[in-house]
Amino acid sequence: MSIQISETLTFECETGNYHTFCPISCVAWSYQKIEDSFFLVIGTKTCGYFLQNALGVMILAEPRHAMAESEEGDISAQLNDYEESKRLCFQIKKDRNPSVTIWIGTCTTETIKMDLEGMAPKLEVELGVPIVVARANGLDYASTQGEDTVPVAMAHRCPERDLLIDENKVIENQTIQNLFSLFSQKKKEETLKYLELKNHPPLVLFGSLPSTVASQLSLELKRQSIQVSGWLPTQRYTDLPSLGDGVYVCGVNLPSSRTATTLIRRRKCKLIGALFLIGPDGIRAWIEKISSVFGIKTKGLQEREEEVWQSLKNYLNLVRGKSVSSMGDNLLEISLARFLIRCGMIVYEIGILYMDKRYQVAEPALLRNTCREMCTPMLRIVEKPDNYNQIQCMRELQPDLAITGMAHANPLEARGINMKWSVEFTFAQIHGFTNAKDVPELVTRPLRRNNSLEDLGWTNLIKKDNKIKVI
């Protein structure tokens, strides 16, 4: 197998399967983001085993999710789905009293054609608690797409923006408020347009991020005189932002392309197609894009970026000149590749599960420019990669580091390739200037481990016939 180095980015699409977690794993971080929620996963015992084992390591807070296991009677339609769901939801209300209950559909609900959207509104009236349906079945979605289903469902529940009463245009002086109430409809609209020019239109950020990271990003924008009107999803269900014509939205996380489409088409919002917040360069470009849309001149961003790069100096000395390949798993591959190339690494090839080129239009452009600025070969981007082809490519190129899913971690390690789990980047807080160091910290961990072993003289790893001998 020969590898061709191109002068431009090479995009290819193969026919590989998704080698990822089940998408119902989205409850792991969604229930932590929406603090007054309760997630009910409707599936079989297999789904329950997965949640219990795969998510059992996440002892971050008391879980606010449960499993509604479908028995033979449910699958064969001998039991009443509505009555069983009603019984469970009333039990959840009695025990937890959440502000919202979110039903997560699985492969089982798809296979037996369970009408979750039909049952939810009727039960919601009886229960007195909102019920949001998010389908995250593994038949249609990859792991990261499951995370996208919850904000999509939430977007339909957001209130419509009132053009006459907007939270970013509150007239504080009581006298002016009284005068404003006497204006004609036309005069009110003209006044609001004037106020919009003085400030800026409402801005809603969407994407599931921890509350601490969300607060940091809101603060970064506030330093540039940009006020965030709301988040989707929100920390509390009762604080859903107002959406509608004139509201600008911007993504902060890659698994949000369906949310972006819903906000544009269904809620008539205006999308700001910015980069994603991986690395100091990506964060700076993200803030600059939002500022340019609102006609605001940024201040102190270049100095802030240089300060972060300076703090990463020790990591950069370790990775400079090292090579890396990445297998498709979590959608962060293009952003990570761009950041690692900026750090001085060489990226041979990356695999990505799927790519929405409308939503991610800014990423390939900056990646291309970064390769030119750093004088590194253009890499190969493979959508829906065939894992056999990728492993063969790694076997020939022998990169210093491979970022891959857990299924291929041990085989690659056994062949003498340093390995890093891609899922660690999914769970780590890597967004924003403050968290920029977490990416090189994760990337250099296996390299630092090997350097420490060599310094101690404990092991000398020799590659021979794709095997490792320990001397």
SS (H, E, C) 178-227: HHHHCCCHHHHHHHHHHHHHHCCCCEEEECCCCHHHHHHHHHHHHCCCCC
Name the 3-class secondary structure at 103: strand
Check residue 461 and give its pLDDT.
Answer: 46
Question: Is residue 163 in a domain?
Answer: no
User: Any idea which residue has 């062949």 for tokens?
Assistant: 415
Contact criterion met (CB below 8 Å) for 137 and 46: no
Q: Which two tokens stand for residue 151?
A: 């904000």
Asked whether residue 461 falls in the same domain as residue 338, the answer is: yes
Asked whether residue 281 falls in the same domain as residue 337, the answer is: no
Asked whether residue 325 falls in the same domain as residue 460, the answer is: yes
Asked whether residue 128 falls in the same domain as residue 271, the answer is: no
Which regions in the chain score pLDDT beneath 70? 1-7, 16-20, 54-62, 72-79, 163-198, 453-471
Phi, psi of 115 (to 5 degrees): -85, 75
Contact criterion met (CB below 8 Å) for 26 and 149: yes
Contact criterion met (CB below 8 Å) for 254 and 278: no
Asked whether residue 348 falls in the same domain as residue 288, the answer is: no
Domain holding 345: CATH number?
3.40.50.1980
Asked whether residue 34 falls in the same domain as residue 106, the answer is: yes
Asked whether residue 329 falls in the same domain as residue 287, the answer is: no
Question: Is residue 118 in a domain?
Answer: yes
Q: Which two tokens stand for residue 57?
A: 């390591």
Asked whether residue 323 falls in the same domain as residue 466, the answer is: yes
Question: Is residue 155 in a domain?
Answer: no
Name the 3-class secondary structure at 105: strand
pTM of the model: 0.83
pLDDT per residue as tens digits for the range 163-198: 544 444 444 444 445 555 655 665 556 555 545 444
Q: Cα(260)–Cα(275) distance, rounded to whole angstroms?
A: 14
Question: Is residue 351 in a domain?
Answer: yes
Q: Pinpoint the alpha helices (H) of 359-462.
A: 362-373, 387-397, 409-414, 423-427, 438-456
Asked whether residue 320 falls in the same domain as residue 464, the answer is: yes
Q: Which two tokens stand for residue 172?
A: 């504080």
Write the Ramachandran bin of 119: left for phi over 0, alpha for psi from -120 to 50, otherwise beta.
alpha
Q: Closest by alpha carbon to 347, among 326, 368, 366, 316?
A: 326
Determine the structural domain holding residue 368 and report its residue range.
10-15+313-470
- Eight-class DSSP state of 385: -
Asked if the bond preceding 210 is cis, omega within 30° of 0, the reply is no
Cβ burial 241-274 (10 Å sphere, 16+ → b, else e): bbbbebbbbbbbbbbbbbbbbbbeeebebebbeb
- Eight-class DSSP state of 24: G
Contact criterion met (CB below 8 Å) for 323 and 345: yes
Torsion sign over Cα 244, 249, 253, 257:
positive
Please give the tally of structural domains in the chain. Answer: 3
Question: Is residue 299 in a domain?
Answer: no
Asked whether residue 281 falls in the same domain as residue 317, the answer is: no
Question: Is residue 185 in a domain?
Answer: yes
Asked whether residue 328 falls in the same domain as residue 466, the answer is: yes
Domain boundary residue, one of 259, 293, 327: 293
Check residue 198 and give its pLDDT.
Answer: 47
Check residue 174 and give its pLDDT.
Answer: 47
Question: Is residue 165 in a domain?
Answer: no
Asked whether residue 322 falls in the same domain as residue 403, the answer is: yes
Question: Is residue 123 in a domain?
Answer: yes
